[in-house]
């Protein structure tokens, strides 16, 4: 496979063409790499990545608070050096990504204007805040700090550095006429707008030597009105090559269309390749690409077609650090798939470390390891959804005797329903992965088995995991018998007509409407609240993507609307005190869920019982998987 051919960036030899793309990590209080971060990177090196690119390290906090790690002082070198050394033990090389700042993307507070290329730019997170323009002295200070920090990275043993010049962050704000309205030598022509980054390149080369590789990660195409078009991105690549960079890491998008940059479940595989291909055709230095290359066949195809020299994997490396090793061994079916939920991002923006839905050990690689069972115990898992399958697999891996009771004829629970639409197949891949792991383990799966108190007690189990999930709610609306639950349509038990009304604008309602839009010409979401997705606790890029997909599909949205009656051909609703009747031959209910916890009360004081996932409270896949894993992990 081309994926495992050796490669080079500058004079640095890489054992394969697989790169762990940059993602942020949570630092120590002084900005240095934490022990958890070190172990996290070490695990990805152990998993077979040829090159690891760290998340952004800010070079100075003079203009903004540290976003993640900091590499501005000599004391930051020690922990970075430990991390690099441990990655080197496994043959992985390490590039340290450096940033002068986030600019208008700073998520600080609604009162402090962030710095940017121009004072015409506005804060992304707080649009009423007008940015402050960096002076020429400020720019030159940051250039010097970038070079100094590159020297610190080299002192720590880094194999190279990557310049953080993409995604609408500070350097990209200088690069783009959308945000850069300067009249001096750092504004105007494309060459002038790129002066900040080309001077950084020159200063790094002067400080670290020409043999020390510098990669430039830049955005070749923004995908927003007034943003960068691809022809300008190709011209930028040529300017960067002339400036002396050793590799180009091609990105797409910005925060306004965040899902183009950081993919979600809704994006198609290989969605950034068009940009890398255009750049590759225009330059003579290595090109790194990314963008949902989780399928090894897709990643291999990119290289075979000559559209890039290296492939970058980000969130997939959170889900499964051993993706490279498993691909090399041909064990494609053992790869834990990323499901595009972006719980990693959401947790980071909530101030936590970066959790992964499908990998409970992410960022806790040493803390949450399983230990062999000390004594033989009988474990019963009730329910075959994500929580139930995870509990059963984890128990079997520890060496317990495991039974899994599922009341239907298949595993997956509500996750099977969620993963059924074509645009949610990443979720279905996780269902199939868990099914395969259940079949590989010594687990006695009993289908068509309804658990009762008597049956459970008769089994004399040492531990019972209640993972019975949740059921769809039915609202009290006149004529509700003329409507059906969303799951009936999502799994194609029922076929929609041409006039579809989805009752509820939460996540399930919006995804159902999008799925129905492929089959029906007239689809409307009716939501009581003032906007859709207000109850969806998900990352902003997922939110942006789903909203844009709904718009592109022509789905109508009515908010602040209360349904009064439903007939077999219409729905009457009240909006701002006025009644409106919509034609409707298909009314679909997406009004939320309630826990299936009937057994909790009868069993609570009679067995060692743990309730996980939606059976405890309707929430998300991450809650079910993690609660199930830890319920078994902590057993004595």
Catalytic residues: 169
Euclidean distance between CA atoms 586 and 515, whole angstroms: 14
Euclidean distance between CA atoms 466 and 37, whole angstroms: 34
DSSP assignment string, 462-493: SEEEE---EEE-----BTGGGEEEHHHHHTTS
Hey, is 216 helix, strand or coil?
strand
Residue 18 tokens read as: 């697989």
Contact by Cβ (8 Å): 427, 265: yes
Strand segments, DSSP code E, in 290-407 are 310-313, 378-382, 401-405
Tell how far CA 154 is from the center of its chain. 30
Residue 508 tokens read as: 């399930």
Contact by Cβ (8 Å): 630, 360: yes
Euclidean distance between CA atoms 589 and 569, whole angstroms: 15
Bridge-based pairing of strands 57-58 and 287-289 is unpaired
* Spatial CB neighbours of 352, under 8 Å, sequence gap ≥ 6: 26
Contact by Cβ (8 Å): 468, 603: no
The region, left, alpha or beta by phi > 0 then psi within -120 to 50, assigned to residue 265 is: alpha
Euclidean distance between CA atoms 225 and 246, whole angstroms: 31
Taking Cα atoms as reference points, which of 24, 99, 23, 26 lies closest to residue 63? 99
Euclidean distance between CA atoms 529 and 404, whole angstroms: 40
State the CB neighbour count (10 A cutoff) for residue 624: 29
Euclidean distance between CA atoms 593 and 617, whole angstroms: 9
Contact by Cβ (8 Å): 570, 583: yes
Residue 632 tokens read as: 């078994």
Rg (CA), the chain: 26
* Spatial CB neighbours of 258, under 8 Å, sequence gap ≥ 6: 540, 541, 544, 545
Euclidean distance between CA atoms 446 and 407, whole angstroms: 8
Euclidean distance between CA atoms 216 and 31, whole angstroms: 23
The 3-state DSSP composition of the chain as helix, strand, coil percent (nearest 5) reads 35, 20, 45
Helix axes 77-88, 35-46, angle to 10 degrees: 20
Hey, is 530 helix, strand or coil?
coil
Hey, is 348 helix, strand or coil?
helix
């Amino acid at each position: 496979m081309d994926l495992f051919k050796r490669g080079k960036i500058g004079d640095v030899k890489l054992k394969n063409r697989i790169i762990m793309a940059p993602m942020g990590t949570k630092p120590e209080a002084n900005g240095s790499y934490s022990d958890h971060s070190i172990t996290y990177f070490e695990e990805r090196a152990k998993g077979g990545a040829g090159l690891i690119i760290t998340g952004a390290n800010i070079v100075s906090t003079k203009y903004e608070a540290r976003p993640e790690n900091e590499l501005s002082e000599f004391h930051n070198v020690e922990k970075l050096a430990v991390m690099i050394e441990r990655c080197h033990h496994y043959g992985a090389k390490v590039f340290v990504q450096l940033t002068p700042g986030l600019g208008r993307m700073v998520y600080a507070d609604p009162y402090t204007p962030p710095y940017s290329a121009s004072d015409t730019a506005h804060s992304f997170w707080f649009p009423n805040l007008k940015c402050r323009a960096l002076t020429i002295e400020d720019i030159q200070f940051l250039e010097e700090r970038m070079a100094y920090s590159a020297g610190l990275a080299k002192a720590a043993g880094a194999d190279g550095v990557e310049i953080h010049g993409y995604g609408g962050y500070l350097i990209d704000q200088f690069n783009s006429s959308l945000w850069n309205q300067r009249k001096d030598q750092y504004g105007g022509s494309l060459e002038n707008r790129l002066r900040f980054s080309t001077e950084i390149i020159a200063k790094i080369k002067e400080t670290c030597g020409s043999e020390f590789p510098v990669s430039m990660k830049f955005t070749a195409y923004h995908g927003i009105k007034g943003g960068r078009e691809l022809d300008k991105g190709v011209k930028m690549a040529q300017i960067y090559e002339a400036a002396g960079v050793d590799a180009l890491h091609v990105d797409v998008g910005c925060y306004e269309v965040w899902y183009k940059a950081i993919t979600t479940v809704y994006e198609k595989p290989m969605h950034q390749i068009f940009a890398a291909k255009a750049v590759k055709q225009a330059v003579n230095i290595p090109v790194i690409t990314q963008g949902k290359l989780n399928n090894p066949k897709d990643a291999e195809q990119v290289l075979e077609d000559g559209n890039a020299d290296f492939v970058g994997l980000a969130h997939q490396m959170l889900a499964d650090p051993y993706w490279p090793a498993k691909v090399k061994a041909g064990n494609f079916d053992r790869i834990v798939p990323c499901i595009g939920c972006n719980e990693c991002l959401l947790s980071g923006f909530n101030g936590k470390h970066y959790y992964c839905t499908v990998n409970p050990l992410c960022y806790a690689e040493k803390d949450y390891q399983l230990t062999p069972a000390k004594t033989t115990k009988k474990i019963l898992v009730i329910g075959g959804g994500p929580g139930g399958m995870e509990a059963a697999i984890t128990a079997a891996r520890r060496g317990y005797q495991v039974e899994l009771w599922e009341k239907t004829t298949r595993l997956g629970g509500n996750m099977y329903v969620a993963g059924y639409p074509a645009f949610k197949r990443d979720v279905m891949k996780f269902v199939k992965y868990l099914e395969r792991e259940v079949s590989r383990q010594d687990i006695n799966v009993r289908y068509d088995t309804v658990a009762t108190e008597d049956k459970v007690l008769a089994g004399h189990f040492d531990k019972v995991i209640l993972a019975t999930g949740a059921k769809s709610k039915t609202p009290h609306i006149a004529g509700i018998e003329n409507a059906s639950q969303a799951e009936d349509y999502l799994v194609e038990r029922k076929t929609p007509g041409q006039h579809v009304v989805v009752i509820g604008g939460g996540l399930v309602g919006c995804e159902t409407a999008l799925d129905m839009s492929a089959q029906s010409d007239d689809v409307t979401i009716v939501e009581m609240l003032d906007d859709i997705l207000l109850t969806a606790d998900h990352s902003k890029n997922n939110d942006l993507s789903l909203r844009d997909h709904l718009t592109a599909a022509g789905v109508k949205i009515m908010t602040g609307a209360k349904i009064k009656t439903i007939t077999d051909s219409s729905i009457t609703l009240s909006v701002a005190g006025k009644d409106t009747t919509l034609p409707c031959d298909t009314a679909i209910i997406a009004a939320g869920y309630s826990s299936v916890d009937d057994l909790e009360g009868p069993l609570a004081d009679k067995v060692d019982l743990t309730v996980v996932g939606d059976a405890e409270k309707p929430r998300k896949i991450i809650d079910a998987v993690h609660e199930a894993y830890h319920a078994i992990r902590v057993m004595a």
